Amino acid sequence: MRSWIKGGLAVVGMVLPVASAWAQPTCNTNPTATTLGVSRTIEVDAATGPRFGGKKKEFEILEPGEVILTFDDGPIRAYTRPILNALEAHCTRATFFLVGKMAVSDPTMAKEYLKRGHTVGVHTWSHANLTHLTPLKARHEIELGTSAVAAALGRPPAPFFRFPYLAEPKSMIVHLHERHMATFNIDVDSKDYRFHDPEEVHAKVMHDLAVTGRGIILFHDIQASTARALPALLTDLKAHGYKIVHMIAKEPATTDPAFDAMAQRIISRKHLASAQDSMPRRALTWPTLVTPSDEKTDAKPQRPKQPPAEPAPAPNAQPLGWLSKIFQ
């Protein structure tokens, strides 16, 4: 056993390879002279619904120079697969937040994330802006999304959640806390949905990291610009001395049986939009919202308003109850 100090608190980790349902390495993840690998793996107990990243984060989990790679909205295999290949070339790991309807559109590709050793979380059922929905419909988006991702994976995802558009209604923060799910905001936005040139994606990430010095980075594995940018970007992260931290879950997410049944019906009949269409304009919500009482809706895309800004609380200095283990 070995002790490290984080934020003035001693936490205990074990110096050994990670063996977890959420991390199944297919190559040696120890950093080398040419590969990023994984410098640290943090196992999270999501029972208390911790919140990571962004201005409202409760904890500073990263040391200077450390980054967490995250990807939203997939899978779309034309872009997801080369992104997975780029990560594999560096023997490094990321967290992917899947949209439920995308996952059940291509279960084979969804399972590929796990086969490559990555963590899979949830990004709702249809990428709806939850601040525009009633609490009931917003909960349905979360629960059906979780069940759909579980159905596509063949097992529950990690209890990790990211809000679409990073729009976080307080009622759903409470709901996720009650559902024992950790939420992930971001510190660095690649803006890959805005940039078509991979060099612009690359430059944006490196510029922002030079300012923040660390952080959770947001990409989208439905964007061609990210698929093209990632190989050179990962090499540049290595050249600049950045280190990759991988987040895994102590326990899998729990799912609601009613939504599990609905997800199984959907995946059986494939009654959903094609996963081959990406979201080139991130400002448009997806048109589908399915609830247990109404599986047919004709909602049209709408341009969401930005949620009102809220003051950022100071990071929590209390003991890290969410921290299960640190592997180094």
User: What distance lies between CA 230 and its chain's CA centroid?
Assistant: 17
Which pLDDT value is given to residue 9? 28
* Encoded amino acid at 82, one letter: P
Question: How is the chain split into domains, by residue range?
Answer: 39-276+285-327
CB 95 within 8 A of CB 127: no
**What is the pTM (predicted TM-score) of this model?**
0.79
What angle do the packed helices 224-239 and 198-212 form, to 10 degrees? 40
Question: 261: Cβ–Cβ under 8 A, 6 or more apart, which residues?
Answer: none
Which pLDDT value is given to residue 81? 97
Q: What is the largest CA-CA distance in the chain?
A: 56
Per DSSP, the three-state class of 13 is strand
Which pLDDT value is given to residue 38? 97
Which pLDDT value is given to residue 268? 86
Topology of domain 39-276+285-327, per CATH? TIM Barrel (3.20.20)
Of 54, 151, 50, 58, nearest in space to 98 by CA: 151
Number of neighbouring beta carbons within 10 Å of residue 287: 15
Q: Going from the first residue of the chain to its last (328 residues), give the mean pLDDT of each consecutive group of 10, the final group possibly shorter.
A: 29 32 63 94 95 88 97 97 98 98 96 98 98 98 98 98 97 97 97 96 98 98 97 98 98 98 88 45 37 36 37 44 56
Question: 97: Cβ–Cβ under 8 A, 6 or more apart, which residues?
Answer: 70, 71, 72, 73, 120, 121, 122, 123, 160, 161, 162, 184
